[in-house]
Structure 1
Amino acid sequence: MFILRDLLLPLQAVFSNTVQGQKRKVWFVYTLLAVLVPFTSSITSNLLRALQTLFGLKLKSQRFYAFMASPTLPWKGLWHTMWGMIPSPAVKERILLVLDDSINPKSGKKIFGCAYFHNHASKSNQSSYPWSQCILAVGLLKKIKSRWACLPLDFRFYMMKKDIEAESATATRKGEVLHFEDKMAQAATMITDIRNYYKQPVLIVTDSWFGNNGLWSRLDRRNEGSFHLLSRMRTNIILYDFAPVATGTPKAGRPRKYGLRLGSVDDCAGRLKENSQSYRVFLYGKKREVLAYSQTVMLKTMKCRVRVVWVYRKTRYVALMTTDMRLSVEQIIEYYGARWKIESGFKEIKQEIGSSKSQVRNSEAVLNHLNFCMMSTTLTWIYADRLENAPDRRYKIRGRAGFAFSDVRRIIAEAALSSDFYSVCPVPAQTPQKSFVKILLRMVA
């Protein structure tokens, strides 16, 4: 209960001292908790029922829907406060960020941010271009109680240029059509804001779609090592050796930047496999033995030197590259393996918390709802990090000993619904019966 108090009071302090601000700060923290209580999905009507039934708030539906669609909620200040509450955010003296995008299918045709986006993970019985929102998110990779977790820090809705030029209703906010910004520019803006806040070097872990010069050129300009990339490589990228050291009389023209052509990533993988070594790496929750080979090369696509690590399986391989030469082979493999946590994070936000089931249409309501879902996810992991001991896993799964996201949500729900919590955030109403709450908690994960 005291952990929850220490996390929520700084968030309340962001709101103004006006009468409206004092009301909203109470509504805000209880809405955040209603998102986390694992009883129903976090659609707006369910949140209102949770506030009225579980927390005893006397709040009319019209007032609550106006609050959820408010354009004046201080999200920037709230997120900066949340970033500051993360214990020890740096890993080995660097901020470890993970970047990826995801689609959020919807059914309403006038929902803000929606279009026909390509779903590369669609199954044979699913549409390859579902009506959905494309969400670009940046999260913090951090070990919490000996397991990796992704803490959402920021997000953007990506809109295609053709939809903006057509002045689609889904690309309009506050009566004005949005300006087009590609994913690389959106990602660079978010990463730069986080770097400016923490004032520490940043390592961005991403897949091969973002791990190229499109993002690197926007981050590397005159930043002197403030940003580094770690990503998977495409198999057809050509690698080059370093330029030979010039001797004798200098020749006319600029000095060579690239040396001999080493071949593609795929060619080098087959040729270098016999030189691979065994490394013991913390990967996917436990220590594993992996075969890998590392070499520093030049890339014409990024116009810089990178360290490439080929990780060999039985019949396949994965090629990873990084611009950070200080990373060891073990760190490169472990950090990229932890990248999968952003995929788990998308599942937690969309399915467990229930963001995908929300059908709000107004642009401010859509943005506010997703902010609540992402901030509640970050709050959950911060809460888990501040616990004295790691939570027990309620549902045991073979090969998974660590606790799950749902286990922490349950602990938070028990703390938020206890009678002691109302001394922190009092509400002018009677709280529900404890027996009713206990029955609900026994029914959910």
Structure 2
Amino acid sequence: MPILPVLATQFQSLFPSSDHGRERARWFILTLQAILLPITASRTSNLLRTIATLFGVVIGEARYYTFMASVKLPWTRIWAVLWRAIPDPLTDGRLLVVLDDSINPKTGTKVFACQRSFDHAAKTNQSSFPWAQTIVTLGLLKVIHGRWCCLPLAFAFYLRRATLALRSVRIRGRVLTFETKFTQAVRLIQSFAGVFPRAPILVVTDSWFGNNGLLKPLRRALGSRAHLLSRLRVNAVLHDLPVAVPGRAGRPRKYGERLGSVKAMQTALRATARTYSLNLYGRVRDVVAAEQVVMLKSLRCQVRVVWVYRRTQWIALVTTDLTLSVEQMIEIYGARWKIEAGFREIKQEIGSAQTQTRNPDAVTNHLHFCMVATTITWIYAASLEQAPARRYAAARRTEYAFADVRRALAHDLADVGFGVDCDDPGQGTRNPLIVAVMRLVA
């Protein structure tokens, strides 16, 4: 298990060499280990009990809660270390970055970043406007041992303009100003792209983000290496490529003749559709699709549009990267669903949804811990020689799951931990019961 000790050593080197810095470095690694072990939800109180019970390190409750709300945890440098630790982050010569937002329902009235948010996926027995945090999340799509995975990369809490106008939200005395989701998304993508300054970036989004509100500032920040892959709205109007007319006065036309809406064109192009054999949603499937390169006014550039036909329905995909093939577009956009699975991994399996911290720094630190733990789990999976066996295999689903990787990781953690000394010098060594307990879990 070489990757975990390497990461732990790099993380500890980011903290100051003072007594408090070394203490925070030890507690940081212990907290990560407690989150990674699939024993209990990652509430702060549960983490404190896990550290004392399994690792034999007793920390005062007030001191640990102060640590979890600390403003001195170097998250920017920690994430940079993690991003560089991802093995082979490029897919077909480009970074596949997936972008989406999610809501995290809470019950406390003074929980940071909470507001009334519309939940389009609410069930009949759930509120359509829960009291929740809205989180813009960035992830990396990558194939690990034959299946697509989503590695969390960064996040930002989104607060509506009306929420900030209704009540003043402060972090360490500073009043928060309104930022659109597009502004937050560009900042997150730009920070990640800075670690890979020459790699082309393909941002995979749903139709809400897939417009010029994201592409224009993204191109301004990253240049022509930034591209977009999204689902196209059915009422979008498409235009033919412009044709130069010799001798015509005035500037050249940007758009050719009007072709019609996406919905109208899908009927006309169905006769030209071909069948492609693709690895989609975990197995090889036959997909019927048609394509055409057109001009799209909402993105103000040439795009490739692919119509995917089902038995009774159809969807249209669009990309600004004209080098992408039809097969790549369909397979990559199909992998976009992995960010939804990533939300479940962070909220339910890692347990970020169950925390009730209220302080802004404590809320932010806790989500950082949960996302870092999720990314470490997938980096660990990529470092394995072969995929772990699926514990609950079914006829249609035999590929390994996130929980299977976590059990394999827990088995290794039970023996040597992160491979670095995290024990308090003034206290005993690690509790020997951890090996027996973790073998029962794994």
TM band (smaller chain):
over 0.9
* Alpha-carbon distance, 1:257 to partner: 1.1
Equivalent residue, structure 1, for 2:378: 381
What residue in structure 2 maps to residue 107 of structure 1? 107
Q: Which residue does the alignment assign to 2:228?
A: 229
Instruction: Give TM-score scaled by structure 1 length.
Output: 0.95
**CA 1:163 to 1:238, structure 2 compared with 1: closer, same or farther past 3 Å?**
same
AA aligned opposite 1:6: V
Q: Deviations over 1:72-128 (max 9, x none)?
A: 110001000111101111111111100000000000000000000111111122111
1:65 is matched with 65
Partner in structure 2 of residue 404 of structure 1 = 401
Note the residue ranges of structure 1 that are not aligned, 5 or more in a row.
none
Match of residue 136 from structure 1: 136
Match in the other structure for 1:240: 239
What is the aligned residue count? 438
Contact 1:293 1:311 in 2 (8 A): yes
1:425 and 2:421 equivalent? yes
| TM-superposition CA deviations, 1:120-148 (whole Å, max 9, x none) | 11112211110000000000111111111
Which residue does 1:88 correspond to in 2?
88
Counterpart of 2:181 in structure 1 is 183
Aligned AA (2:118): H
* 1:112–1:172 contact (8 Å) kept in structure 2: no
Letter in 2 for 1:123: K
Q: CA RMSD in A?
A: 1.5
**Residues 317-336 of structure 1: matches in 2 within 5 Å?**
317-336=314-333
- 8 A Cα contact 2:239 2:259, kept in partner: yes
Partners in 2 of 1:51 and 1:191 — Cα distance? 34
CA distance in 1, matches of 2:286, 2:228: 25
Contact 1:106 1:131 in 2 (8 A): yes
Contact 2:410 2:438 in 1 (8 A): no
Q: Secondary structure at the match of 2:257?
A: strand
CA contact (8 A) 1:167 1:177 kept: no
Q: Which amino acid aligns with 2:245?
A: A
* CA displacement at 1:423 relative to structure 2: 5.5
1:6 shift after superposition: 2.0
Distance of 1:205 and 1:402 partners within structure 2: 23
Contact 1:164 1:177 in 2 (8 A): no
Whole-Å separation in 2 of the counterparts to 1:110 and 1:380: 32
Aligned to 1:116: 116
The amino acid that maps onto 1:209 is W
Structure 2 CA distance for aligned equivalents of residues 165 and 365 of structure 1? 24
Normalising to structure 2: TM-score of the pair? 0.96
Q: Residue 383 and residue 222 in structure 1: after superposition, are their counterparts in 2 closer, same or farther (change >3 A)?
A: closer
| Partners of 1:38 and 1:413 within 8 A in 2 | yes
Aligned partners of 2:418 and 2:97: how far apart in 1? 36
Give 1:255 shift: 1.9
Moved more, 11-20 or 222-231: 222-231
Letter in 2 for 1:231: S
Which segment is superposed worse, 190-199 or 304-313?
A: 190-199
Gap regions ≥5 residues in structure 2: none
Structure 2 residue corresponding to 1:293, chosen from 284, 290, 313: 290
DSSP 3-state at the match of 1:384 = helix
- Is 1:282 aligned to 2:251, yes or no? no
Distance 1:217 1:433 in 2: 56
* Contact 1:54/1:417 (<8 A) preserved: no
Q: Secondary structure at the match of 1:87?
A: coil
Query: Relative to 1, partners in 2 of residues 1:402 and 1:34: Cα closer, same or farther, differing over 3 Å?
Result: same
In 2: Cα distance, 1:222 partner to 1:359 partner: 36
Cα deviation, 1:352-382, whole Å, max 9, x if unaligned, reads 1111110000000000000000000000000
Q: What percentage of residue pairs aligned between the two structures are identical?
A: 50
Distance verdict in 2 for CA 1:27–1:223, change over 3 Å:
closer
